[in-house]
Each structure stands twice: as structure tokens, then as C-alpha cells.
Structure 1
Amino acid sequence: MPVITKISVQQKQTDRYNIEVDGNYAFSVDESVLIEFHLKKGREISKAETEEIQIRDGVRKGLNTAIQYLSIRMRSEKEVLDYLKKKEVDEASRQEILTRLREMSYLNDEQFADAFIKTQIQTTEKGPFIIFRELKEKGIDEEIASTLLEQFSEEQQMEKAAALFEKQLKKHKRDSAFLRQKKAEEYVMNKGYSSSILKKAAVLEPPDAEEELNALMHQAEKAHRRYKSYEKGEYRQKMKMALYRKGFDLSEIDKAIEKLQEE
């Protein structure tokens, strides 16, 4: 039967050992595997035992890799599994590694989801629909995600949605009141808030006449530069359609066109 003839510590990884059998390099193992299988110089070792040791060492290496990955931040089981696949850890080892990580309290999808939701509420503009979608992408059970998202209260959602809505109104101040509202509503919805929350949060003041006129003239001047080379009738038609699509009142559009033509 083959015999272990030398065991030496690796230079770059001092927790791993090179094993020589019958004078030739055979395999390397983690220190914990070395101890588990009582490997030492002069010990006989069968081919079947060598294969078992290598399988166990593969699990140990994968476990160390996963723990290092988890040391950066909390992860879901799916994230860890995907990472182990990326590192080419075999399927049987991956499942054992996940089991070990659960036993060691490194993995708990419910705790992960709870922490993830709290962080998103505190540090991002995301609404519950987007947070729920991201949790699903991370492999979190839908029921767990839905239950834990109840901590994102309606009051918090309304406060965040209202702030986003107001921010977008200011951002698009050179648009018509109609278009500003539409863009702001779309933005809030795209951030993951429901229409019912938006309806309560989107409190609109009556449009300021001076701001509306300034926005109209800004858009009219842009359109004028685009259409000024057209024949008079076609010019007016294109101007009116362009500005009407942007939400301005037709009577005010006519006044803006006349003012531009006078200049």
C-alpha cells in the first residue's frame, strides 16, 4: 500500500500542507483535514482514502472561501451559492458548505432580509416594490420578504415619496406644470412606490403664472430655433404641436409664438 513519505508546509499558505506519497507529490490539504485524517509521515494511505481526503479538503477550501466572502458584508444563501459556483466549487461540496455555514450562524436569509430592508429604507430612495424585487433576485422567499417589508410603514413611504416628488418638480422647472407633474409621478413610481402612496404624497400647489410663462418661453425658443426656416403656416403648426405636447395651454402658445415673431 502507498505510504506518506513527506509532509511540508506551503510557503505562501502556512495553513496548507503538501503531501508526498512514495517520494512523489500527491496532493495538498488544509491543516484541519490533516488533523482530521491523522496524516503523518510513514502512514499507509489507500487510493479510496486519498479520494475521500481530497473531497473533504475541497469542502474545507470552499468553506474558507465562503467565510471570507461573508466577512465583507451579510449575504443571502443564493449569493453565497452563486459565488461558490463562480469559484468552481463542485455541487456536492456547495451543499455541504451551505449546511455548515447555517450551523455556524453565518447564513440566515431572514436576518439578511431584515438587515437589507432596514439599510435600503435608511440609505436609499427605493420604494417597497423595488426592495421586494431585489430581495427576490437574492433568493429570499416571497413570504419572508413580504412580511419583513411591513416594517416600511405607510408614513415612511409617503414621506420619502413626497420628497422625491418635490425634488423632481424642481428639477423640471423649465417644463410645463402638466409635464413637470407627469415626470415627477413617473419617477416616483419607477422608484418602487404604489399609485395609492403617490396619490397621497403628490400634493400640488396651483401653478405659478410667472414660472409657467418662463417655462413656455424657454420651450418656445427651443422649438423656434428648430422650425424658424419653415414657411409661416407650417411653422405655426409645428410650433403649436410641439408646445401642446409639452402640456402648455393653446391660448398661451399662440401668445408665445406671436411674441417670438415680433422679435
Structure 2
Amino acid sequence: MAEKEALPKITKITTQKRKERYNVFIDDHYAFPISEDVMIKFRIFKGMEVDKKLREEILAADDVSKAYSRALAYLSGHLRTEQEVQKKLREKEIPEPTIQATLAKLRDLNLVNDEQYAESYVRTMARTSDKGPIVIKRNLRQKGVLENDIERGLAEYSDEDQVTNGVEIAKKLAHHYQREPLSKMRQKVYQGLMTKGFSGDIITQILDQTHFEADPELENEKLNMEFAKVWRRNRRYNFSQRKLRTKRTLYGKGFKIDAINGLIEQQTDSEQS
């Protein structure tokens, strides 16, 4: 009866210069590198027999180990979404099965958790930015966070906190538009809050708690400038049409009708004198 063919054996294991990495020699020939955790997991030792299947399992596990180390470096000091980690590993040209196995390991160790990420992201944005829930939700979608996790995260930003933050943002916007007529200022603040991601209901509450006060001198200066431009632009019309069109344009820009009428009366007196 023929003797059973001997399986390849590990004849030497040497330490690499890289921390926690080892070189494995089979039948006195270099075979493959492995990490310390893979060596422990497979209980690799000198004299161990390694068939083809076991070798493939060891190499696959080492691929995951290397990808895991890269993921840990990427996660160091920062929370990341699964999609961000996946994208980073793909940039390293790591095979997709290895990436998925790495993500599974990271999930098991709670090193990636999109629900926790969403909660942390919402709290940070609410505390440090001028962005409302709509923009925050859009940002989280772009990071690959699923809708359920986003909604749970947004629970961290209460309506009350949105209004409190929104009032401060509204004050800054109002200051920026202080040269505008009061009604136009309010309209632009509304649009600004909407652009920043606050909902209509929340904006209404914010505006109700915001005191708008235009600078009379600036508003008057602005009206005079606008009146001169509009009046000149309408010079091709007869005097009656010119007044009507000028009044309508300036009123549409948010200026008070009494102030507009006052300038038109001055212009009328000037034209008639």
C-alpha cells in the first residue's frame, strides 16, 4: 500500500520589521506574510501542516487583517460612516469580499455604527453650525446613512433647540440685510433660514421671536437711491404713468407706501416748478 503523500509543513516563522507582522516559510521556502492576530487565530506554529484549503483561509484572513488595520487608521480620532470606510478601502484597491468581511468585523466591534454616527453628527451640527435639519439630513444621505438612522439622529435636534438657534441666525441675517426695507429684510431672513435647512413651521416660530428693526437713515438712503434709478428708468412714459410705475416698483421692493408717496410728491413739485 502506497504511503500517504506528506503535506507541506511550516519550517520557519520570522519577525518582520513592521510591527506585529511575520513571514511564514513552508518546506524551507518563503510562503506568505501574516499578522499576529491571524497567527493566533489559526494557531500557526513551526511544524504545522498546511494544505491548500488552509493556506487559502489563512491568506484570506490576512487580507482582512490588513484591511482592518487600514480601516482603524482611517477611523482613528474620527467617527466614520460605513460608506466612508468602504470608499477608503476601495481607494486602496482592496477586493470587495475583503472589504465586506472587514466591515462585518468593524460592525461586530461597534467601530462603525451609522446610527451612532448620525446622532453624534446631528448634535455637533446643532451646536457648532448654522444648518437646520433639512441640510443636515441631506449631508447624512450623502455620507450613505440610511433613512431610519437619520431620523433617529435628528431626534437629537429638538424643535425648541432649532428655534433657539434659528433666532440667533435670524439676527445675523437681519444685520446683513439692514439696508433693506423692513418687509424685504424679513422676507430675505425667511429665505436665508430656508436655505440653511429649517422648515416653514420652525421659521415662522423663529420670526415670531425675532425683533426686526431697520435703520431709518439707511432705509431712507436706500429708498432715495432706488427712487432715482426707477424714476430715471421710467422717463419714457408720460408723467402719470411714470409715477404709477415708479410707485408700483418701489412698493414691490418692500418700501413703505407713505415714504414712496412723499418722494413722488417732491418730484411732482419739482417738475411743476
Q: TM-score, structure 1 length as denominator?
A: 0.77
Q: Which has the larger radius of gyration?
A: 2
Preserved contact between residue 175 and residue 219 of structure 1 (Cα < 8 Å): no
Q: Percent identity?
A: 32
Deviations 1:1-43, CA, capped at 9 Å, x for gaps: 55545543333x1221233445654332112223333445555
Aligned with 1:29 (options 34, 38, 46): 34
| Alignment: residue pair count | 254
* Inter-CA distance 169–218: structure 2 relative to 1 (3 Å threshold): farther
Q: CA deviation at 1:66?
A: 1.6
Q: CA deviation at 1:134?
A: 2.4
1:177-256 alignment, distance < 5 Å = 177-203=182-208, 205=212, 207=214, 209-219=216-226, 223=229, 233=236, 240=246, 246-248=253-255, 252=260, 255=263
Gaps of 5+ in 2: 1-6
Distance 2:204 2:22 in 1: 65
Q: CA deviation at 1:130?
A: 1.8
Preserved contact between residue 120 and residue 153 of structure 2 (Cα < 8 Å): no
- Please give the secondary structure, in 1, of the residue aligned with 2:34: strand
Deviations 1:145-166, CA, capped at 9 Å, x for gaps: 3244234222211122222122
Structure 1 residue 8 and structure 2 residue 14: aligned? yes
Preserved contact between residue 179 and residue 215 of structure 2 (Cα < 8 Å): no
- Please give the secondary structure, in 1, of the residue aligned with 2:14: strand
Deviations 1:156-193, CA, capped at 9 Å, x for gaps: 11122222122111102223333322221111011111
Preserved contact between residue 82 and residue 112 of structure 2 (Cα < 8 Å): yes
Distance 2:234 2:143 in 1: 59
Preserved contact between residue 75 and residue 112 of structure 1 (Cα < 8 Å): yes
2:16 partner amino acid:
Q
Distance 2:225 2:12 in 1: 83
Deviations 1:67-108, CA, capped at 9 Å, x for gaps: 222222222333323322233332222222222222222233
Aligned to 1:19: 24
Q: CA deviation at 1:139?
A: 3.3
Aligned with 1:124 (options 126, 129, 133): 129
Distance 1:82 1:29 in 2: 25
Deviations 1:204-244, CA, capped at 9 Å, x for gaps: 546554332122235567x59xx98x89538x97x949766
- Please give the secondary structure, in 2, of the residue aligned with 1:8: strand
Q: TM-score, structure 2 length as denominator?
A: 0.75
